[in-house]
Amino acid sequence: MLDSLVGERWLNNRLCSPRDHAILESAYQKNSKPDKEGRLNLVKQVDLGEKEVQVGFLETRRECQAKVAIDMVPEPPAKRSQKIEATSPTRAHSTL
């Protein structure tokens, strides 16, 4: 599931070219929290600054965590009247 979320942040960044997006997405898949040296290596490969890369990783992690948290929230139970109507026989058959 997280695979589909990775890269959403990079896609939303209009400064990011498709080539840069592919590099950043691949790097995120390998390590979602690169250290300073890792970020500097990425900066050499893409047309973004270190701060942009750092913030992009931060926001992508935040979005992924929020999506996972939302997906884990259980659906509210159906109202009691809906359950009764769905399980009870129709009134036409129960009249004598």
The model's pTM: 0.59
Q: For position 63, what pLDDT does the model report?
A: 85
Sequential pLDDT tens for the chain (96 residues): 444 444 455 556 556 888 998 999 899 999 999 999 999 999 999 988 999 999 889 988 888 888 777 777 677 766 655 555 556 566 555 555
Q: Which structure tokens are listed for 93?
A: 């058959």
57: how many CB neighbours lie within 10 A of its CB? 22
